[in-house]
Amino acid sequence: MSDFIRPGAVMISCSVFQAELELLCKAYWPDQKLMYLSSMLHMHPEQLASSLESVLDDERKPGHWVVLIYGDCCARMAEMEALPRVVRIRGKNCCELLLGPEEYRRLSHEGAFFIAPEWAQRWREIFTKELGLNRVNATSFMREMHSKLVYLDTGIVPAPEKELQECAEYCGLPYEVLRVSLGHLHSAIEEALSKCKTMGVPG
């Protein structure tokens, strides 16, 4: 357990990790403060950047530190993590944070389109409302860049087979369920917390 992070520090995360972070914090950082921003903000990078900057302005009080649990999710992320008392975990995106860089690269080269547990429940909203894809153009669009859907099963909730089947039919791609541990995400957070310690977070 990281004993140097106190409630004066806050973890700010995309809601795509909410269930996973609740489990990890209960096991490793039970007193840690958590905040979440909607995963749908990823569809609007400027809104995501503005929302993060607003939260950082509120949370970066004297003696308070922020750990950003985000990948390279918007253009201003580098500027935000360069701010005093801000540390971001290392990873390109949430899928890499779950899979680790090697497995993420391997599956990406195979043409995988990754689906996180939260996204599986909202796939129709994402495809129709956010991406503007109907059943016809969704198939052509997805097949241009992807060969399969890969659901990242973190084991917290049962894999939503019905929703995955519907999404697969809508996209015209097969799907598979891949069981993943929380080991990579845990390690990435621990690394960020260790960085906080070396940079002077009160212990």
What are the extents of the domains in the chain?
Answer: 10-92+182-198, 96-179
Question: 10-39 burial, b for 16+ CB within 10 Å, e for fewer?
Answer: bbbbbebbbebbeebbeeebeebbbebbeb
Going residue by residue through the chain (203 aa), what tens digit of pLDDT does each one get? 444 444 457 899 999 999 999 999 999 998 888 999 999 998 888 999 999 999 998 888 777 789 999 999 888 888 999 998 899 998 899 999 999 999 999 999 999 999 999 999 899 998 898 888 888 899 999 999 999 999 999 999 999 999 999 999 999 999 999 999 999 999 999 999 888 777 654 43
pTM reported for the whole predicted model: 0.88
Phi-psi region of 200 (alpha: psi -120 to 50; beta: other; left: phi over 0): left
List all residues 6 or more positions away from 173 whose beta carbon is below 8 Å from its beta carbon. Answer: 113, 142, 143, 146, 147, 148, 149
Phi-psi region of 2 (alpha: psi -120 to 50; beta: other; left: phi over 0): beta
Contact between 129 and 136 under an 8 Å Cβ cutoff? The reply is no
Distance CA 85, CA 12 (A): 13
